[in-house]
Amino acid sequence: MCHPRLGVAILTMGNRPAELDRLLESVAGQETPAARVVVVGNGSPLPPLPEGVTGVELPENLGVAGGRNVALARLRQFGDVDVVVDLDDDGLLISRDVFTRLAGLYAADDRLGIVGFRIADERGRTQRRHVPRLRAADPMRGGPVTTFLGGGHGLSMRMLDGIGGWPEPFFYAHEETDLAWRALDAGWTVLYEPELVLRHPWTSPTRHAVFHRMVARNRVWLAKRHLPALLVPLYLGVWTVMTVARTRSVAGLRAWLGGFAEGVRTPCPPRRPMRWSTVWRMTRLGRPPVI
């Protein structure tokens, strides 16, 4: 891909206007400018936006996956975007060369589908859950991976044209892994690049009231949708044991078990089981799809 043109997509719930302003300033300050910038108000009105930034207000919250698909559709209408950069509205690009580096990565590899940024707080710390590999002690070790972080990443538009967009029924949780597994199965590369940093406040995922339920339900949907039939019970069994061992909150565990049951009894998005060659590829990358 020669000199890819970048389009930026930002979701906002309307409750962080100051953070959104700072993020947009950091986007505007990039050495390599974005061809387009779209901000989606996900069920909330948008604040005044800088000149050249396109705003889309949705009457209801469509979730992370639905809101990002709206932004993606708007970027497609412009017809001049090769790589979509999704950014959390409370994030910040602390270096001016993030887009330059990102464009260089895509220009150098025609099969690069997804590039995950490193998420770091104001003190430079990266939480273990933000490192997309099992051995997460060193957040500065980059390379090919099997999933990515939603807070800051790049997506090849050509890849999305082939594998489809975000899984809207997921609403929130595991939508990145669903997209990454489809990308891997189609032969694209998923890369974690720790030199590309999105500064983001240190947070806990449990701050979302629906966290435990959504994580469990979507975990089941993920397995039912993408794994070969033989791996579905193994994958879900491993995650059940891990969750029971890790969860310290009785209410949280109860919500998780309820979400798990919901995932089992409800239909998932259309089933697209990955090839066994993809299972082997993920295993060689250090994360077989059983954990």
Q: What is the pLDDT of residue 3?
A: 85
Distance CA 141, CA 26 (A): 25
How many Å is the maximal CA-CA distance in the chain? 53
Q: What is the pLDDT of residue 205?
A: 67
pLDDT in tens, 173-211: 999 999 999 999 999 999 999 999 999 998 766 555 588
Report CA-CA distances (Å) from 1 to 15, 70, 119, 163, 247: 37, 25, 26, 18, 45
The number of CA neighbours under 13 Å toward the Cβ of 38 is 24
Task: Write out the CATH class of domain 6-203.
Answer: alpha beta
Q: What is the pLDDT of residue 291?
A: 87
Closest CA to 140 of 150, 126, 154, 151: 126
Distance CA 63, CA 69 (A): 10
Q: What is the pLDDT of residue 100?
A: 98
Task: Locate the domains of the chain by residue range.
Answer: 6-203, 209-284
Mean pLDDT by 10 residues, the chain (291 residues): 90 92 98 98 95 97 97 97 97 98 98 97 92 91 96 97 97 97 98 97 69 95 98 97 91 94 93 97 96 87
The number of CA neighbours under 13 Å toward the Cβ of 272 is 15
Q: What is the pLDDT of residue 269?
A: 85
Q: What's the pTM?
A: 0.95
pLDDT in tens, 227-255: 999 999 999 999 999 999 988 889 999 99
Collect all residues with Cβ–Cβ distance below 8 Å to 123 and sequence separation of at least 6.
none
